[in-house]
C-alpha cells in the first residue's frame, strides 16, 4: 500500500474524486468517499482520520528532530498558528460546507407541497443567511491568509482554501474561547435548525480542525463496524 501521508497520494485521491464527481454527477463529499474506497477505506472520513493519526504520532515523537534539530513539518504547522486567528483576535468558530451544496425546502402552493431546490451560496448566503444567524461568510482571500490545514492534508502543505469549501464564521470574545461543546450546541441551534445537518463533519476552532458532532457520530459508527464479530455458522446454532 502506498504511503497515504504523501502529497502525491492525497493529490491523486482528489483528482480521482473530481473525475468521479464529474462523470457520475454526484456531490463532492460522495466523490471523496468513493475515491477513498478504491484505496481500501470505508469513507473519506476514515482515510482522513488515519492520516491525521499518523501525522500526530510523527509530530509528537519527532517534534525536535531533524538534520538541523528541527522537524520541518512540525515547524511549518506551528508557524501557521499565528496566521489562523482572525484579524480582530476574537475567538473563531468556522463552519464548513461543500462548495456545491444544494438544499431542498417545501413550499405550499394552492394546498400542495412543492419541493424547491436551491444553491446554498446563491439562495442562502448571498441573501443574508449567515448574518441572520449571527455569523459571517469568510472570503477565499481571508482563508488564504489563515493557512488552515485541509482535512486529510499534509501539515504545512495542503490548505483548506485550495479545496474550494464555503465557510461561515461565528465570533465571540477571546476571553471566552470556543469549546467543541459550545460550538456543537450553537451550530445545532442556529444552522441545523434552519437547513438541516448539511455542514461538514469538522469545525475550525481558532484555527484548529476539530471533529464536530457529525464526525464523532461517524467515528462511533466505524468503531462499531470494526467491533462486529466475523460471521461463523456457530452464531446461528449450526
What is residue 137's predicted lDDT score, i.e. its pLDDT? 96
Question: In the numeric block, which cell numbers belong to residue 34?
Answer: 468513493
Residue 1 lies in a domain: no
Residue 79 lies in a domain: yes
HSE value, Cβ hemisphere, 13 Å, CA-based, for 148: 33
Cβ 177 vs Cβ 206: under 8 Å? yes
DSSP characters over 91-115 = EEEEEEE-TT-EEEEEEEETTEEEE
What is residue 19's predicted lDDT score, i.e. its pLDDT? 87
Residue 237 lies in a domain: no
Quote the CA–CA distance of 157 and 36 in Å, as a whole number: 20
Q: CB within 8 A of 190, min separation 6: which ones?
A: 133, 134, 135
What is residue 55's predicted lDDT score, i.e. its pLDDT? 60
Residue 25 lies in a domain: yes
Positions of the chain with pLDDT lower than 50, given as ranges: 58-87, 238
Quote the CA–CA distance of 162 and 149 in Å, as a whole number: 10
Cβ 148 vs Cβ 205: under 8 Å? no
Residue 178 lies in a domain: yes
Domain range enclosing 143: 7-229
Residue 73 lies in a domain: yes
For the whole model, what pTM was predicted?
0.58
What is residue 71's predicted lDDT score, i.e. its pLDDT? 44
Residue 181 lies in a domain: yes
Residue 234 lies in a domain: no
Cβ 95 vs Cβ 185: under 8 Å? no
What is residue 205's predicted lDDT score, i.e. its pLDDT? 96
Quote the CA–CA distance of 202 and 109 in Å, as a whole number: 37
Quote the CA–CA distance of 184 and 12 in Å, as a whole number: 32
Predicted confidence (pLDDT) per residue in 107-129, tens digit: 777 778 788 889 999 999 999 99
For the chain, the domain total comes to 1
Amino acid at each position: 500500500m502506498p504511503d497515504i501521508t504523501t502529497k502525491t497520494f492525497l493529490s491523486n485521491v482528489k483528482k480521482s474524486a473530481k473525475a468521479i464527481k464529474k462523470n457520475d454527477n454526484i456531490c463532492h463529499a460522495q466523490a471523496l468517499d468513493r475515491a477513498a474506497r478504491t484505496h481500501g477505506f470505508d469513507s473519506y472520513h476514515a482515510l482522513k482520520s488515519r492520516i491525521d493519526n499518523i501525522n500526530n504520532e510523527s509530530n509528537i515523537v519527532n517534534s525536535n528532530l531533524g538534520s538541523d534539530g528541527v522537524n520541518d513539518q512540525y515547524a511549518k504547522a506551528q508557524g501557521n498558528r499565528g496566521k489562523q486567528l482572525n484579524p480582530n483576535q476574537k475567538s473563531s468558530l468556522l463552519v464548513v460546507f461543500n462548495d456545491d451544496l444544494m438544499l431542498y425546502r417545501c413550499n405550499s402552493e394552492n394546498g400542495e407541497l412543492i419541493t424547491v431546490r436551491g444553491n446554498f451560496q446563491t439562495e442562502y448566503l448571498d441573501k443574508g443567511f449567515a448574518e441572520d444567524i449571527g455569523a459571517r461568510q469568510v472570503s477565499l482571500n481571508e482563508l488564504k491568509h489563515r493557512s488552515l490545514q485541509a482535512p486529510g492534508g499534509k501539515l504545512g502543505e495542503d490548505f483548506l482554501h485550495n479545496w474550494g469549501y464555503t465557510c461561515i464564521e461565528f465570533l465571540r470574545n477571546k476571553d471566552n474561547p470556543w469549546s467543541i461543546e459550545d460550538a456543537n450546541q450553537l451550530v445545532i441551534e442556529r444552522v441545523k435548525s434552519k437547513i438541516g445537518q448539511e455542514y461538514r463533519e469538522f469545525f475550525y476552532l481558532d484555527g484548529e480542525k476539530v471533529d464536530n458532532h457529525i464526525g464523532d457520530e461517524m467515528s462511533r459508527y466505524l468503531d462499531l463496524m470494526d467491533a462486529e464479530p466475523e460471521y461463523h455458522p456457530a452464531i446461528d446454532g449450526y
